[in-house]
Amino acid sequence: PPATISNRTGYHFQSPKNWINDPNGPMYYNGIYHLFYQFNPLAPVWGNIVWAHSYSTDMVNWKPLRHAIYPTKPFDINGCWSGSATILPGNKPVIMYTGIDEQNRQVQNIAFPKNLSDPYLREWVKPDYNPVIKPEGDINSSAFRDPTTAWYGPDSHWKTIIGSRNGRLGMAVLYKSRDFIKWVKADNPLHSAQNAGMWECPDFFPVLPKPMLGVDNSVIRNGLKHVFKVSLDETRYDYYTVGTYDFIHNKYVPNGLSPDNNTGLRFDYGNFYASKTFFDEGKGRRVLWGWSNESDSTQEDWEKGWAGIQTIPRALWLDGNGRQVVQWPIEEVNKLRKKEVGIRRKIVKSGSVIEIKGIEAAQADVEVSFDLSSSLEKAEKFNLSWTDPQKLCGQKGADEKGGIGPFGLFVLATDDREERTAVFFRIFKEGQKHVILMCHDPTKSSKRTGLYKPTYGGFVDYDLSKSGGKLSLRTLIDHSVVESFGAKGRTCITSRIYPNFAVGSNARLFAFNNGAEEVKIIELTAWEMKKPFMNGI
């Protein structure tokens, strides 16, 4: 088959055909997970946007339902854009979404399940009193969208934020309501930032360190940390800060440990956008969904007939150091693991590769732990001018020899590694501390032309002296997506890649080391992954 067909993912969320973008209104209701998403029913390019709907009992196997929300009324006749679900008292879900109205204005509408006793919540009713929030006053009607899950406060009001901008001031405009129907704009935004441009898809939620994996959005108390995230239309990346919510003045205050702009923290340093979390009451955890767009050409999307996937749902919590979040594929993903191969206590010598044989490596899950304790002293010196990890990964690709590293995995590789995507670390020394750089280098991922192959990178906030020189990596490989979790989920990178030859049973997996120092693999396990039910395919 043409390579474009072999590039279809196996266990990532996607639609049988056509275009998908943002995850919408994820929720858990009476034992069932719902995921809605931005969908074009007619073509594998953006347009004609409706809310497609799928349900699941494990977030791994998905069944499709009829479209939940689609243009029918003056208040959404030109599109049903992104939004969120909130569970109201009495266990009643409500969706708030952005409608594109008759005058092409962005307005906020609500919709309720027609029949709460339908376990799948198949039909959604949009009351005629919509829109419930209109762009009034100084609000720009073409920059006013993507309401968050609402939270309830001690002032007996529901609150939601809506992404916006005023000139280049990014804004999370705050609205309040007693009954979810009549909404009033607060005097000040929950948060705003200069020179940000449009803030799409804001998200705002409380976070706690392990063992608490999450709490409901309405949990508010002194000392509780919050995460505020926006999708920056201008850079096409999601940025977040950790901070506190002053629930008296309704202000979010970032903790100041990371910049509150497009050089700040990211859930994922790769192809990952318009993400949204929800509180999974079933397992008491917060779960993050993100959209990963194609990196091939539009013409290839027409040939494939599909475009866009959702990344593997990730449990998300606050790191013990309080500075950032940690993410890990939800445990249900492990159900897909079948054939297992591995190696233990093996040295990867300078300039060598070790093939991990015995599984179909085009659809796999790999976990590896490295021991760097014997060489940490020999790390190269870090240059303080290296502030941009993505650029650094670009300058120091997988073939650029270093001291400790580059070392890691070659995934979706051919036998001769003429095609391969490198997932790797480099370790530098900065005074008494070490700096860990994590990269995805897809420059050799495909012999095909016309592909977008950016190198991605992030620093890993992890103390190697405390870990005894141990550093871990998990990589989910699924035909055209590589999703990596460094240092147990402290830094994540997702790439879309389209091998021409390293497809199906011809895809190989290697551990590699292009650093001067040898690296020890404590343990490496790779699993071939089953294909779940995925929306009928």
Is residue 78 a contact point for ligand FRU (CB under 6 A)?
no
Closer residue to ligand FRU, CB minimum distance, 54 or 61: 54
Residues 31-70 touching ligand FRU, rule: CB under 6 A, are: 38, 49
Does position 274 bind ligand FRU by CB under 6 A? Answer: yes
CA distance to 256, 264, 271, 317, per residue, from 260 (Å) = 8, 6, 20, 19
Tell me the C-alpha distance between 205 and 214, whole Å: 9
* Identity of the residue, 50 or 379, whose beta carbon is nearer to ligand FRU in the bound complex: 50
Minimal distance, residue 201 CB to ligand FRU, in Å: 6
Bridging pattern class, strands 32-40 and 158-166: unpaired
- What 3-state class would DSSP assign to 303? helix
13 burial (CB, 10 Å; 0-12 / 13-18 / 19+) is buried
Q: By CB under 6 A, is residue 196 in contact with ligand FRU?
A: no
Binder of ligand FRU out of 3, 201, 330, 451 (CB under 6 A): 201
Work out how close the CB of 278 gets to ligand FRU at its nearest, in angstroms, rounded to a whole number. Answer: 17
Kindly state whether residue 81 participates in binding ligand FRU, applying the rule CB under 6 A: yes
- Residues with Cβ within 8 Å of residue 256, at least 6 apart in sequence: none
Asked if 22 touches ligand FRU (CB under 6 A), the answer is yes
22 is known as an active-site residue: yes
By CB under 6 A, name the one of 9, 54, 61, 82 that touches ligand FRU.
82
Minimum CB separation of residue 224 from ligand FRU in Å reads 28
Give the up-direction half-sphere exposure of residue 423: CA atoms within 13 A in the CB hemisphere: 32
Q: Which of residues 110-149 bind ligand FRU (CB under 6 A)?
A: 145-146
- Tokens representing 426 are 């480099």
How many residues belong to the site for ligand FRU (CB under 6 A)? 12
Residue 358 Cβ, how far from ligand FRU at the closest point, in Å? Answer: 40
Which of 98/494 has CB closer to ligand FRU?
98
Residue 470 CA to residue 140 CA, distance in Å, equals 50
**Residue 20 CA to its chain's centroid (Å):** 15
Q: DSSP class of residue 79? A: -
* Residue 458 Cβ vs ligand FRU, minimum distance, rounded to whole Å: 22
> Residue 21 Cβ, how far from ligand FRU at the closest point, in Å?
5
Assess 200 for contact with ligand FRU (CB under 6 A).
yes
Give the C-alpha distances (Å, rounded to integers) separating 190 from 98, 179, 210: 19, 20, 27
* Closer Cβ to ligand FRU, 61 or 98, answer by number: 98
Q: Would you say the C-alpha torsion 406, 409, 413, 416 has a positive or negative sign? A: positive
**Exactly one of 6, 61, 84, 98 binds ligand FRU (CB under 6 A); which one?**
98
Distance CA 115, CA 144 (A): 30
The CA-atom distances, in angstroms, between 461 and each of 132, 250, 405, 434, 489 are 43, 30, 17, 10, 10
**Closer to ligand FRU by Cβ: residue 78 or 495:** 78
Nearer to ligand FRU, 98 or 258 (CB): 98
Contact residues toward ligand FRU (CB under 6 A) are: 21-22, 38, 49, 81-82, 98, 145-146, 200-201, 274
Report, as residue numbers or ranges, the catalytic residues.
Answer: 22
